[in-house]
A and B are shown apart, each in its own frame.
Chain A
């Protein structure tokens, strides 16, 4: 990348561009793009493949909720597609970048699809007639086949077909052109050429994801055998839309495998083949795949070979335990030696030594799933070169510093997702919000300068509910996608006969732009006050038609959509008559509902542009700084007398060995000196009232000084504590049995004379964690912390004997495996299991203080050794005071007491309650790097709201009929968004005045989910646009026939 020479003498703002380029349309790129537009920036989203969605779209389910992966991702993909401020450029690649942070010049190459993106309606007629069936289906990991004109997968975004130029008969041999003849939309264009597009942006986000290495693996992993597949291939096999339509079959004979073996670390953690890092996510997705397999067929047997179990994430460890305890998945503690095929049956023989019993075994499996290494995308070096950024030794993009993984070394270019290093979906999503925040911090001066806001010129029509409904209906053929299976003219004639249907028309593609003009004309010509489109799914198209209605002056809630494609033509392809009848029924029901539709108002809500951050640890400091820098007043509340949180107790930090105090100092100074920041030390929150945009908070400082503040958002960054063990290992009595934090405090002393008399130190990991009862989770960070301390101690006193007793070593993430390998030389590593805990006894007048007795699997017996100091690595726990805060904020805690996010996968730093966000160890134990990234993310999520000034509330909300409400409070109990509270209402009757409890729904917080309406025992709550009357009318309309 060349630096632009004319960086000019213009003022700073003039040179900044209020837009960002996002490279890569996986979940990372999608989330970053959506957040950026909400923060007021235009986005160019460039994706190399024909559809956005990335790897997450290929997964079958996601753990721990076992949600369908694409089902939770697709709405976000559609949101990207529908967002007027995201310019989506699929099948495109960035080829040139110049300029500098704030103002980059980008050249993008758009590859020819040979299908006009504006004309193609995604109906699929072309593919059904395309004669060539040869290309392996890339989306299905090459397991299935596809046509040479294709859409990568049914939910692809954009929903536009393309021609594989290597496979197409016409492009290669000059014959065929069947698609061109069949396409009613005339979208096929064989003349398309590669096209260069130039854009200017202020910042660049790189999110190009990862590949899965398989074919290059050494022979012993057996990938060459038919029935040995990678886990991503297995995801496709599990998936209902995969090559076997969700039947778990193996490739050799397409029979159901009975015994399935999952092999962990099949190439990862392997210095020899050049993947020296832990791919970090395999232990978890394998547990998930095993569980899903058991759900497919309970009689199948699942075996997992693993060496260390690395469940790196919130409640992940428990999920792996559930796989064993509830689903009967069998885990073996071994890295296998090799896999060989039985040539007759095509079964696989796995050769391994079980480390628990020391015996050699052969396990025969019908199918083997390899957790092969996840490696940087093959493009990473090329992209790095174009952008002028560096890759690290593993070919992941190199981060700016160990503690700022979201920035590249080049200013204005940011990194997000797996292309920077191994990580899972929640962390990717949090990081995506984090990079959006980074962009916002760079470009906040030009926020909202390039956004398109829709201006509707036609004033909204007044609708009197007493007026006779005049309904317009448009029925779509969708090329032949609907028309071939549903007799549209017949449906149309029937619909025309229904009362209140003023006009009904059919057309080829209702979504085309001429159809939008047609809808507007119909509304004007017939003075319509309701409109219905019967076509495809509202998921992708409802918003388009609603906007069209608004442009014609019709309130968008007077529009109704019927899905006769998925519901009729797709599922009743073989039953044309019944499908047609169903289409009639569905539209008639919509007409019945439509008669009762009311216009709904979307009110506007002002936002106080101030933020409250609870907790002054590293997460809180980072969040505070990021919000303040962007010009918002920020209040930081810390219960202690000093900022810095847990870092105040640490000696050196992982992984850079900086002194914690020196690391912390610049952040604290910046916060202290920033004019937008108000710091409240020794303070607690004593009251919180209000809702998103408008919180009233009372902060009480020691000495009962009270501050009332008004804020728009709240970030919870309260951190977590180290568990103080009560009974175990005689901790309470023995002064030389201490926790890791106590060791850190010893190390913080300048004087290390205390080490003089110590010859041997023993670290015990997983103390009081990963148990069957009590604390069941893995605290994730103790392993790296212990190893860091071992290295520090060895440096301080080289002749010190160090012993580390562990169960599994948690060394996920990019550099940690190598760190572990380097650390091994400094200590003796011994494994123990939960059922045979080490025993510590005091020695009598010996050379050492303690004797440690441990069961050694290798010897099948006990070994004894001696130590002077015992360090217990106890887990981080949620402090008691979380309860109080959780009540005040109306946000939930999980079973371990940590704060519970809105969705563990896709909303990891939001609470279900709008306007409250979460970061750092209050969410889950995490290291400094991750805390900082997450704090950036939380700041980003908050900036979306703070920068908006005002918010539109949805018209689709629950409403209380006050007279019917009996004040039972059941609705408030179930509301997932905390939008309902009980208020006291004074009611005056003839003789009495009563104070009655009534449900009160805050329409700013309500999402219209309807849970309260179902719960209400007295039908006092209805959901606007889905009222009982409207639903009843639909049912009646159906029953009439």
Chain B
């Protein structure tokens, strides 16, 4: 029996209403019914479920939890079950030959300490090894050998931070992978090792605020680290939250677009990790919409897709699993929704971005929409309000 203890209690919560069956995003491309899977497991047919590999198919997108009346956390059940499945030798098919997670696994070894180069740091950006504000770069730069634009996210985020802050931004030379993908593949031990290393590095840097520009990194640092390591209590903010606060505090504003340029029509893809994977009180999906509202004031147009906020559709892939024609079908649907309302698809998750771009290579119909990370969109637009003026504004 793989699933036992507390996990089984979670399973027992499911009262078999089958609401999830029609909610499940996987359900749009193949029969996938979380509540039936749960019932079969608790009835004693766990082997059948485990051996079928069915649990590797779950997108862990949390759409079912979002609607489940009894709050059965299927994604967590799947995550923990995967952990046990690995022990039992039931392996998933991982995309890109498993290279990226292998990299993470190698990194997790205690005796390996990365020595990152900061060649990519743009000129004019002052960085340091110690300080108050730490930018957790994450894995996106590592992908740049395969995906052309994946460096831009880090570059532009750092530019934004340096523009706003009057102090050097901390970058860690020995930053390891946050471990998100390992965690959701069920490789929990390796994940923990990565976390321990990173937490120590954070401490050494003396930072009191960690900023990420990645949805997965944010959820991992904000929720999963503290849930496993009580001593980790550094404030973590996603770039969205950070910019929202700066706007609210009148520290920054957006530049007006030049008159001649074509008006940009924007829409936003809510990554699951920044919406359904966070407590409602975080309200990040409203915060980013505030940013778009401000952008509209300077000449952009913002339109909402049919599925948005916590109902957002899935990009089709998580933690390098499930890459297939089916995943592409899901993504295709999402991109058509975007195309209906905009010519720029903005997101805040590098993985979503990579996968949307990947589909553009395959499918002509979605090529004319520009996929762009929030940092890339905003880097040129942000204008810092000088502190003198800043005071006056707040007086008004």
Q: Do A and B share a complex?
A: yes
Interface residue ranges, A against B (CB under 8 Å): 218-220, 265, 269-273, 307, 334-338, 351-353, 355, 358, 360, 820-821, 824-825, 828-831, 856, 858-859, 863, 865
Most interface-central of A269, A351, A355, A358 (chain B CB within 10 A): A355
Measured CB to CB, the nearest residue on chain B to A854 is: B43
CA distance A824 to B70 in the complex (A): 11
Is A270 in contact with B43, judged by CB distance below 8 angstroms?
no
Contacts of B69 in A (CB 8 A): 265, 269-273, 335
Contacts of A336 in B (CB 8 A): 19, 22
Is A856 in contact with B70, judged by CB distance below 8 angstroms?
no
Please report which residues of chain B, range 45-101, place their CB below 8 angstroms from some CB of chain A when the two chains form the complex.
45, 66-71
Q: Closest CB-CB distance, B2 to chain A, in whole Å?
A: 17
- CB-contact partner of B17 in A271, A307, A351, under 8 A: A307
Is B15 among interface residues, defined by CB-CB distance under 8 A? yes
Is B23 among interface residues, defined by CB-CB distance under 8 A? yes
Is B376 among interface residues, defined by CB-CB distance under 8 A? no
Is B18 in contact with A352, judged by CB distance below 8 angstroms?
yes
Contacts of A269 in B (CB 8 A): 69
Is B71 in contact with A825, judged by CB distance below 8 angstroms?
no
Measured CB to CB, the nearest residue on chain A to B37 is: A858
CA distance A689 to B253 in the complex (A): 91
Is B107 among interface residues, defined by CB-CB distance under 8 A? no
Q: Closest CB-CB distance, A754 to chain B, in whole Å?
A: 27
Is A337 in contact with B43, judged by CB distance below 8 angstroms?
no
Can you offer 11 A-B residue contacts whose CB atoms are under 8 A? A271-B71, A272-B67, A335-B17, A335-B18, A337-B20, A337-B67, A358-B36, A360-B22, A831-B16, A856-B43, A858-B40
Contacts of B144 in A (CB 8 A): none
Is B43 in contact with A351, judged by CB distance below 8 angstroms?
no
CA distance A798 to B36 in the complex (A): 27
* Contact (A337, B19) CB under 8 Å given A358-B36, A859-B45: yes
Additional A-B contacts beyond A337-B19, A352-B18, A825-B13 (9; CB < 8 A)? A307-B15, A336-B19, A352-B21, A360-B22, A360-B27, A821-B70, A825-B12, A828-B42, A865-B44
Is B39 among interface residues, defined by CB-CB distance under 8 A? yes
Is B9 among interface residues, defined by CB-CB distance under 8 A? yes
Contacts of B43 in A (CB 8 A): 828, 830, 856, 858, 863
Is B22 in contact with A271, judged by CB distance below 8 angstroms?
no
Measured CB to CB, the nearest residue on chain A to B9 is: A825
Is B250 among interface residues, defined by CB-CB distance under 8 A? no
Interface of B is mostly: helix
Q: Closest CB-CB distance, B77 to chain A, in whole Å?
A: 14
Is A351 in contact with B22, judged by CB distance below 8 angstroms?
yes
Contacts of B27 in A (CB 8 A): 360
Measured CB to CB, the nearest residue on chain B to A218 is: B67
Contacts of B20 in A (CB 8 A): 337
Is B128 among interface residues, defined by CB-CB distance under 8 A? no
- CB-contact partner of B15 in A353, A824, A859, under 8 A: A824
CA distance A352 to B35 in the complex (A): 13
Is A271 in contact with B70, judged by CB distance below 8 angstroms?
yes
CA distance A307 to B69 in the complex (A): 12
Is B360 among interface residues, defined by CB-CB distance under 8 A? no
Is A338 in contact with B68, judged by CB distance below 8 angstroms?
no
Is B13 in contact with A334, judged by CB distance below 8 angstroms?
no
Is B19 in contact with A335, judged by CB distance below 8 angstroms?
yes
Contacts of A825 in B (CB 8 A): 9, 12-13
Q: Closest CB-CB distance, B310 to chain A, in whole Å?
A: 9
Contacts of A220 in B (CB 8 A): 23, 67, 311
The 8 closest A-B pairs by CB, nearest first: A337-B22, A335-B17, A353-B21, A270-B69, A351-B22, A335-B19, A353-B18, A824-B12
How many B residues touch the partner, as a band? Answer: 20 to 34
CA distance A865 to B68 in the complex (A): 29
CA distance A523 to B287 in the complex (A): 79
Q: Closest CB-CB distance, A48 to chain B, in whole Å?
A: 32
Most interface-central of B36, B43, B69 (chain A CB within 10 A): B69
Is B33 among interface residues, defined by CB-CB distance under 8 A? yes
CA distance A430 to B179 in the complex (A): 61
Is B21 in contact with A360, judged by CB distance below 8 angstroms?
yes
Is B33 in contact with A353, judged by CB distance below 8 angstroms?
yes
* Contact (A272, B22) CB under 8 Å given A821-B13, A824-B15, A858-B36: no
Is B45 in contact with A272, judged by CB distance below 8 angstroms?
no
Contacts of B18 in A (CB 8 A): 334-335, 337, 352-353, 355
CA distance A859 to B43 in the complex (A): 10
Contacts of A829 in B (CB 8 A): 12, 15-16
CA distance A265 to B27 in the complex (A): 23
Contacts of A338 in B (CB 8 A): 22-23
Contacts of B17 in A (CB 8 A): 265, 307, 334-335
Contacts of B68 in A (CB 8 A): 272
Measured CB to CB, the nearest residue on chain B to A334 is: B18
Contacts of A271 in B (CB 8 A): 69-71
Most interface-central of A218, A273, A334, A858 (chain B CB within 10 A): A858
Most interface-central of A272, A338, A830, A856 (chain B CB within 10 A): A272
Measured CB to CB, the nearest residue on chain B to A865 is: B44
Contacts of A863 in B (CB 8 A): 43-44
Is A355 in contact with B311, judged by CB distance below 8 angstroms?
no
Contacts of B31 in A (CB 8 A): 360
Contacts of A272 in B (CB 8 A): 66-71
CA distance A859 to B44 in the complex (A): 12
- CB-contact partner of B21 in A337, A830, A865, under 8 A: A337
CA distance A282 to B17 in the complex (A): 17
Measured CB to CB, the nearest residue on chain B to A269 is: B69
Is B22 in contact with A858, judged by CB distance below 8 angstroms?
no
Contacts of A828 in B (CB 8 A): 12, 42-43
CA distance A856 to B16 in the complex (A): 13
Q: Closest CB-CB distance, B208 to chain A, in whole Å?
A: 35
Measured CB to CB, the nearest residue on chain B to A338 is: B22
Measured CB to CB, the nearest residue on chain B to A856 is: B43
Is A859 in contact with B22, judged by CB distance below 8 angstroms?
no
Is A219 in contact with B21, judged by CB distance below 8 angstroms?
no
Q: Closest CB-CB distance, A782 to chain B, in whole Å?
A: 18
Measured CB to CB, the nearest residue on chain A to B48 is: A859
CA distance A355 to B70 in the complex (A): 18
CA distance A351 to B71 in the complex (A): 20
CA distance A1003 to B20 in the complex (A): 64
Contacts of B33 in A (CB 8 A): 353, 358
Q: Closest CB-CB distance, B232 to chain A, in whole Å?
A: 28
Contacts of B9 in A (CB 8 A): 825
Contacts of B19 in A (CB 8 A): 335-337
Contacts of B22 in A (CB 8 A): 336-338, 351-353, 360
Q: Closest CB-CB distance, B314 to chain A, in whole Å?
A: 16
Q: Closest CB-CB distance, A382 to chain B, in whole Å?
A: 25
Contacts of B66 in A (CB 8 A): 272
Contacts of A353 in B (CB 8 A): 18, 21-22, 33
Q: Closest CB-CB distance, A438 to chain B, in whole Å?
A: 36
Please report which residues of chain B, range 120-135, place their CB below 8 angstroms from some CB of chain A when the two chains form the complex.
none
Measured CB to CB, the nearest residue on chain A to B22 is: A337
Contacts of A335 in B (CB 8 A): 17-19, 69
Q: Closest CB-CB distance, A444 to chain B, in whole Å?
A: 47
Contacts of B39 in A (CB 8 A): 858
Q: Closest CB-CB distance, A691 to chain B, in whole Å?
A: 52
CA distance A615 to B27 in the complex (A): 58
* Contact (A337, B311) CB under 8 Å given A271-B69, A352-B18, A821-B13: no
Measured CB to CB, the nearest residue on chain A to B24 is: A337
CA distance A170 to B31 in the complex (A): 63
CA distance A273 to B65 in the complex (A): 11
Q: Closest CB-CB distance, B396 to chain A, in whole Å?
A: 33
Contacts of B21 in A (CB 8 A): 337, 352-353, 360
CA distance A858 to B36 in the complex (A): 7
Is B311 in contact with A824, judged by CB distance below 8 angstroms?
no
Measured CB to CB, the nearest residue on chain B to A824 is: B12
CA distance A958 to B43 in the complex (A): 67
Contacts of B70 in A (CB 8 A): 271-272, 821
